[in-house]
Amino acid sequence: MNAEEISRVACVGGGTIGFSWAVLFAQHGLQVKIYDISDEALAWTRREIDCAFETLVDAGRMTNSDVAAALNRITTTTDLAEALHDVDFVQESGPERYRIKGEIYRELDQFARPDAILASSTSAMLMTEIQAATTRPERCVVAHPYNPPHIVPSVEIVPGEATSAETVALTRDFMARLDRVPVVARKECRGHIVNHMQAAIYREALWLVGNGVATVEEIDLAFRTGPGLRLALMGPFAVGMLTSTGGLQDTFVDRKLDHSVEDDIPSRVEREAPPRTPELAREWAKLCTAQMEAVLAETDMEQVKKWRDKKLLQILDVIASD
Ligand SMILES: NC(=O)c1ccc[n+]([C@@H]2O[C@H](COP(=O)([O-])OP(=O)(O)OC[C@H]3O[C@@H](n4cnc5c(N)ncnc54)[C@H](O)[C@@H]3O)[C@@H](O)[C@H]2O)c1
């Protein structure tokens, strides 16, 4: 099987990420079967799919007849064997727990065709651990998207220790065929590439809120109107090249980002801050959540999601233009 021959796909888990994969696959002419554990879950999935297509029509990306054809290609079921029957590619988007992924992968192995690819959306987990539950570890791979996958192009492809080079190449080519931007990690690592980095950002954001330097609202405002704008255009290394006349060496070493240089003077808040512990991080997370809930108390998050998707599409247009 090559990437062009993939025509039938199963989405296992129809939550935030699963429904969006289904939209992407159906948009590209593939037959999509969505599995989830209950009818209620699938009713939510179908509502989200309708909403996503509505936004794509509003943004001029699809016509109503494109949508009708795409919807015709999507079916939903609570029967896993039925969902997996004769599919070429499985995109698993179940809960982020090793125990649950293990159970799901055992069943995928049982019901999917022996040559089907079993790709996981996992945000941070190791494929080496997940693929051990199957008799075909060489066909298992991480294909990690960014939310929402039907709009955001990046997909990290991460092999486990037993994943074959053929599976990596096939998944990469398949993602490229769907107009995604696949990046293949050279080694597996918790959080893959970007979530590994994102963890550092969240760790420091919690520290800043926990130590009273800024509120969640202030951090979000500063971030999106500053680095967020630049990062939509360039990666952190390219940004760094333009940050100083001395290029990256200047940016990273000569006192711009490296706070540990000899003559650096820590602020009072840094000197007085308690050592970081998991308990403290949990407490700070609660504080951030409470602040964010207060900020969003009057906000309709469904409208925010629609607004985000519309703006993301516009940003992609701007980036693609000269
Ligand atoms: N939310 C994100 O921004 C994001 C981004 C990239 C990757 N991911 C990854 O995608 C996966 C799914 O995350 P999500 O945010 O869509 O979660 P979610 O909670 O929105 O959806 C998970 C879905 O899995 C279903 N489910 C529960 N048990 C299941 C089982 N045994 N088999 C199949 N489905 C089952 C749930 O009913 C639910 O619909 C996770 O591995 C996550 O790390 C999430």
pLDDT at 246: 79
Better-scored residue on pLDDT, 252 or 266:
266
pTM given for the model: 0.95
Average pLDDT, the chain: 95
Give CA–CA dist 219/232, Å, rounded.
18
Same domain, 205 and 157: no
pLDDT band, very low/low/confident/very high, at 243 (cuts 50, 70, 90): confident
- Residue 311 token pair: 């703006």
Same domain, 66 and 118: yes
pLDDT at 45: 98
177 falls within a domain: yes
- Residue 170 token pair: 């096939």
Same domain, 137 and 234: no
Give CA–CA dist 92/81, Å, rounded.
14
| 3 ligand 1 Cβ < 6 A | no
Position 191 pLDDT exceeds 80? yes
pLDDT band, very low/low/confident/very high, at 248 (cuts 50, 70, 90): confident
Same domain, 108 and 233: no
Cβ proximity of 216 and 222 under 8 Å: no
Same domain, 136 and 20: yes
CA of 142 to the centre of ligand 1 (A): 14
Q: Which of 184, 213, 228 is the last residue of a domain?
A: 184
| 167 ligand 1 Cβ < 6 A | no
User: What does the H/E/C string look like for 236-283?
Assistant: HHHHHHHHCCCHHHHHHCCCCCCCCCCCCCCCHHHHHCCCCCHHHHHH
| 13 ligand 1 Cβ < 6 A | yes
- CA 148-314-300 angle, to 5 degrees, is 55
Better-scored residue on pLDDT, 159 or 250:
159
Q: What is the mean pLDDT of residues 17-27?
A: 98
| 18 ligand 1 Cβ < 6 A | yes
Residue with CA nearest ligand 1 atom 21: 15
130 falls within a domain: yes
CA of 286 to the centre of ligand 1 (A): 22
Which CATH number covers residue 247?
1.10.1040.10
104 falls within a domain: yes
User: What total of structural domains would you count in the chain?
Assistant: 2
pLDDT at 188: 97
Same domain, 298 and 226: yes
> Which value, to the nearest 10 degrees, does the dihedral of the CA atoms of residues 166, 169, 171, 173 take?
-140
Same domain, 111 and 66: yes
189 falls within a domain: no
pLDDT at 322: 84
How are beta strands 74-77 and 8-12 bridged, if at all?
unpaired
Give CA–CA dist 192/175, Å, rounded.
17
Position 40 pLDDT exceeds 70? yes
pLDDT at 251: 76
Give CA–CA dist 60/55, Å, rounded.
9
Residue with CA nearest ligand 1 atom 2: 147
Tens digit of pLDDT for each residue in 119-174?
Answer: 999 999 999 999 999 999 999 999 999 999 999 999 999 999 999 999 999 999 99
Position 177 pLDDT exceeds 90? yes
Give CA–CA dist 52/63, Å, rounded.
13
Same domain, 179 and 200: no
pLDDT band, very low/low/confident/very high, at 253 (cuts 50, 70, 90): confident
Tens digit of pLDDT for each residue in 70-119?
Answer: 999 999 999 999 999 999 999 999 999 999 999 999 999 999 999 999 99
Position 257 pLDDT exceeds 90? no
Same domain, 173 and 266: no
CA of 95 to the centre of ligand 1 (A): 4
145 falls within a domain: yes
83 falls within a domain: yes
The whole domain housing 93 covers 3-184
76-85 per-residue burial string, b: 16 or more CB within 10 A, e: under 16? bbeebeebbe
184 phi/psi in degrees, rounded to 5:
-95, 120
pLDDT at 245: 81
Same domain, 95 and 215: no
3-state class (DSSP) for residue 6: coil
Strand order in the sheet with 89-92: 74-77, 31-35, 8-12, 89-92, 117-120, 140-145, 154-159, 181-184
Q: Which of 131, 164, 184 is the last residue of a domain?
A: 184
Which CATH number covers residue 59?
3.40.50.720
Give CA–CA dist 307/51, Å, rounded.
12
Same domain, 275 and 204: yes
pLDDT band, very low/low/confident/very high, at 258 (cuts 50, 70, 90): low
Q: Which of 157, 184, 211 is the last residue of a domain?
A: 184
Position 260 pLDDT exceeds 60? no
Tens digit of pLDDT for each residue in 285-317?
Answer: 999 999 999 999 999 999 999 999 999 999 999
* CA distances, 152 to each of 192, 275, 285 (Å): 17, 37, 27
Same domain, 200 and 258: yes
121 falls within a domain: yes
168 falls within a domain: yes
Give CA–CA dist 191/277, Å, rounded.
20
Better-scored residue on pLDDT, 278 or 255:
278
